[in-house]
A = this chain, B = another copy of it.
Amino acid sequence: MSELNLARRSLLKTGAAMAATLMASAVANAGIPAAQVKKFDAEYDVVIIGSGFAGMACALKAARGGKKVLMIEKMPVVGGNSAICGGNVACPVNPVQKAQGIKDSKELFIEDCLKDGLGLNYTNLLGVIADRCNDTIKFVEETGAEFVPNKMLFEAGHSVPRSYEIKAGTGSGYIRPMYEAIKKEKNVTVLTRAKFDDFVMDGDAVVGITYREGYRFNQKLQSDDLENKTGKQKVVRAKLGVMLAAGGFSRDIWFRQVQDPRVVPTTDSTNQPGATAGVLVKALGIGAAPVQLCWLQFLPYTNPREKGFGVSVNFTNHACMDYGIVVDRKTGLRFMDEHAGRKIKSDALFKVIGADENYPIAIADDAIVKSINPNFVKLPLEMGTVKKFNTLEELADYFKINKKPFLEQVARYNEFIKKGEDPEFHRNLKFSNGLDVSKAPFYGIEVAPKIHHTMGGVMINEKAQVISATTHQPIKGLFAGGEVTGGVHGASRLGTVAVIDALTFGMIAGEEFAKM
């Protein structure tokens, strides 16, 4: 049994009663005093909470810097949301852009992010991402991640194509090779089913954590963080510090609704079930400054007929919104810039969906579908979320789209493509490659946004150090990266920027540990 528990049961006269009261009192909210820990179960240099992009990048860098690392993951498998996400990654001003004559800049990248971010972004952190992204790409490629060569994706909300396409089609394209590399490092211990409980503090500094081994996440619980008591408690020292890489809270029914009451328990999410606020809440409890916690992002590419992230996102995104169109079936018309940032699109989609599930229809044609990764259409066609038709009329009939105005809309849109200008919604058609909606067969799919990413989190500086709201300074021994942090994305993040964010700040935290 953990020494922590033994301390609770000790019968030393003054010490015990006092210790018992004190531990009970002191652990009231967050932070267990180190003096109360009689014996640590193990000692590490670095303890990492979470095993997604930020966690793994940190683990590799710290290990290669000779540090002894523990990485804990509460779910049965590593990778978190990172493993299942789209996986493409932004990198402003990279060699592939240069080779293709695409003009980009750090300033343009920051400007793009500020637009959907409504000006709330921390531009210092965006600057770090822009400055280091090529190092990040090199780092993951050397580890084994493979990108489609010579290809730059023109992602929604970005002014120019600036995102690498991961060959694997999901974030597993990084997670698998990174995990393999981590397993080869002698000084890294990875524990799954290991759930963080609390920080061990020495004064203001984080010096370790308590956690439970053999933890079994229970999806049926209303709040797993609150109710799940499985596992056996351990307490470990983190001599150089703790890295928070615990991701976001899109699946935290309670906490997300506290931030935004419109997100009710039945609101679906693209996230894996473990995306909860437990670590974030504990970090706030030891003084981490909260940043922009109430900005929750909906992904405007999801389908209402399948649960969670599903298999249709890449199709709706890259076929229909990069190149195709989206219409309101009642009017038959477009209603938004299909290539705008996620907030703009989600807001517009929700307006159309209204209270009567009037799901808009996203549409692509044969030429578009042939121009993108074939994996994107294969699975959703098999699943039946994407439907294929010989004519636009049949598509309109099937989805009950107001036919006459719809056909006129498509014709009008095709003219916009020819002219390279969209007077209706001012969509950037510069990279349309002449792809319009004209060649049979035609593809259609319903769209309904799902909660996807929580922009806010703990405040970090450019070294990934967590800043205290109490002292305004870094909390000694505490680092963070990825979705558990706030500020990079402001009100709404652009696609492919979370990946570079998490990998880069994970890498930077690891570098900081390696230097210590």
Contacts and interface: CB of A to CB of B under 8 A. Distances in A.
Contacts of A15: 14-15, 18
B285 A287 contact: yes
Contact of A204 (B29, B255, B284, B290): B29
Most B CB within 10 A of own CB, among A19, A28, A120: A28
Contacts of A168: none
A459 interface: yes
A258 B469 contact: yes
A325 interface: no
Contacts of A261: 119-123, 487
A516 interface: no
A470 interface: yes
Nearest to A34: B25
A31 B33 contact: no
Nearest to A207: B25
Given A21-B35, A291-B259, A471 B26 contact: no
Contacts of A272: none
A226 B262 CA distance: 36
Interface stretch (A174-182, A292-300, A432-440): A292-300
Contacts of A289: 255, 258
A223 interface: yes
Contacts of A277: 469
A286 interface: yes
Interface in A132-170: none
A487 B261 CA distance: 9
A103 interface: no
Contacts of A459: 258
A279 to B, nearest CB: 12
A286 B260 CA distance: 22
Given A14-B15, A261-B123, A294-B295, A28 B285 contact: no
A30 interface: yes
B28 A203 contact: yes
Given A14-B14, A469-B281, A31 B28 contact: yes
A514 interface: no
Nearest to A471: B226
A472 interface: yes
Given A22-B35, A122-B261, A459-B258, A472 B226 contact: yes
A254 interface: yes
Given A33-B25, A290-B290, A291-B294, A254 B472 contact: yes
Interface string A465-477: 0011111100000
Contacts of A411: none
B14 A469 contact: no
B456 A30 contact: no
Contact of A262 (B120, B204, B260): B120
A202 interface: yes
A201 B25 contact: yes
A201 B28 contact: yes
A316 to B, nearest CB: 25
Contacts of A120: 260-262, 294
A24 interface: yes
A277 B286 CA distance: 16
Given A261-B121, A261-B122, A295-B294, A35 B29 contact: no
Given A120-B262, A259-B292, 7 more contacts: A29-B201, A30-B285, A120-B260, A226-B472, A254-B472, A282-B470, A293-B293
27 contacts: A14-B14, A21-B33, A22-B22, A22-B33, A24-B203, A25-B201, A28-B204, A28-B287, A29-B30, A29-B31, A29-B204, A29-B470, A120-B260, A123-B261, A254-B472, A255-B289, A255-B469, A258-B289, A258-B459, A258-B469, A261-B487, A281-B287, A281-B469, A285-B285, A291-B294, A292-B293, A294-B294
3 A-B pairs closest in CB distance: A25-B33, A29-B287, A21-B35
